[in-house]
Structure 1
Amino acid sequence: MLGLLIPLSKIIGVNYRDHQAIAFLSVTKNQSVAAAIAVMALSPEASIVPALIPMVQP
Structure 2
Amino acid sequence: MHTHNPRRSLKARTTGKWKQQAKKALIPGYGKKGMGWIRNPKKAAYNKIYRKTTFSIWGLFK
Structure (1 or 2) with the larger CA radius of gyration: 2
With the length of structure 1 as denominator, give the TM-score of the two structures. 0.31
More contact order relative to length (CA 8 Å, sep ≥ 6): 2
Higher helix proportion (structure 1 or 2):
1
